[in-house]
Amino acid sequence: MVSNLNPYSQQFVYNLNRIADRMQTAQQQISTGVRVNQVSDAPDSISTLLAARASLSAAQQIQANLGRVKTEVDSGEQALQTAVQLFDQVQTLGAQGDDSMATADTRAQISQQLDGILQQLVGIASTRVEGRYIFSGDADQRPPYTLDLTQANPVSAYQGSAATRVAQNPHGGTFPISETAQTIFDSADPATNVFAAITALRTALNNNDDAGIQAAVSGLSKVGDYLNQQLAFYGTVQNNVAQATNDSQTMQTQLQAQISDLQDTDMTSAILELTQSQTAQQAALQSEALIPRTSLLNYIQS
């Protein structure tokens, strides 16, 4: 299409459109608070901006995951604190049963108290969080043990699996978040096996077996130390979760600041740009209005 405007008029319209575009851009930046709405707004920084947004999203997801992990780890730590306290009672009861003045009836009564503690420990091993048995390893939909006090070995074989779940920190590293009930209560080493130690003591007490009671009691201290080590593991995981959460929050703050620098409107500059564009538009229109217009009628009249 051939324009019917002369070159001066074409240039005037072009410049006026450029001013209008600048005004529209400034108005949009002021109203939205964002200066990068599309790739063409900042082609040199768009890749950095997209990478920062992706990193922020990943850090937010990691923090959400850590929140769920914290709930599980805190529950595990609290459960093991109770287990340690219960085993302290086992050691106290063992000392009472090992007293030379203890009668068979007294020892039978102590054994019954151990039955109650054993039930509580099996219950602790079956601790659930969000519908998961947290000490059953990856097979977390079934309890790790069942208990039948009528049997010589009242605690069943471990019914869970290995624990392979880990949590991720915002720097890309990972750390384990749980141990299995088998590791905690049913160690492969008889000298640190909680269930075996209590079972041996209750059996010896029921049998009024002095030598058996002495042997069982002598091993309780090492088992207690081992159980405290498992509690310490969960304390370490709590520290790891707290550190990872703090790192994630710090990273998010840094990324949000970076994203803000890349995309947010500089209000002072945007308002100045809008004001200058409005002034330029008004001046251009006024100047154009002052230019003399010569028509064919002017030439005829002359």
Q: How much is the pLDDT for 2?
A: 47
Instruction: Give me the pLDDT at residue 259, please.
Output: 80
CATH number, residue 180? 1.20.1330.10
Beta bridge partners, 238, equal none
Whether the pLDDT of residue 195 is over 50: the answer is yes
Segment 19-72, tens digit of pLDDT: 665 656 655 666 555 555 554 555 666 788 888 889 999 999 999 999 999 999
| Token code pair at residue 126 | 């079956």
- By CB atoms closer than 10 A (0-12, 13-18, 19+), residue 87 is buried
- pTM of the predicted structure, to 2 decimals: 0.75
Identify the helix (H) or strand (E) that includes residue 181.
helix 181-185
- Report residue 229 as tokens: 């080590």
Q: Does residue 88 form part of some domain?
A: yes
Q: What is the mean pLDDT of the chain?
A: 85
Q: What are phi and psi of 234, to 5 degrees?
A: -70, -30
What was the pLDDT predicted at 86? Answer: 98
pLDDT of 301 above 60: no
For 213-231, write each residue's pLDDT tens digit. Answer: 999 999 999 999 999 999 9
Q: What is the pLDDT of residue 46?
A: 78
For residue 259, the tally of other CB atoms under 10 A from its CB is 17
- Is 101 part of a structural domain of the chain? yes
Domain residues for the domain of 218 are: 83-247
For residue 27, what are its two tokens? Answer: 């108005």
Residue 262 lies in a domain: no
Q: Which residue has the higher pLDDT, 1 or 131?
A: 131
Asked whether residue 140 is assigned to any structural domain, the reply reads yes
**How many domains are there within the chain?**
1
Host H or E run for residue 128: strand 128-129
Name the region of 246 (left: φ>0; alpha: ψ -120 to 50; beta: rest). alpha
- pLDDT digits 0-9 by tens, 75-115: 999 999 999 999 999 999 999 999 989 999 999 999 999 99
pLDDT at 302: 52
Is 229 domain-assigned?
yes
Q: What is the pLDDT of residues 228-254, one digit of tens each?
A: 999 999 999 999 999 999 999 999 999
| Spatial CA neighbour of 90 closest among 241, 194, 188 | 194
- Domain contains 106: yes
- The pLDDT-based confidence of 258 (bands split at 50, 70, 90) is confident
Residue 22 lies in a domain: no
Residue 97 lies in a domain: yes
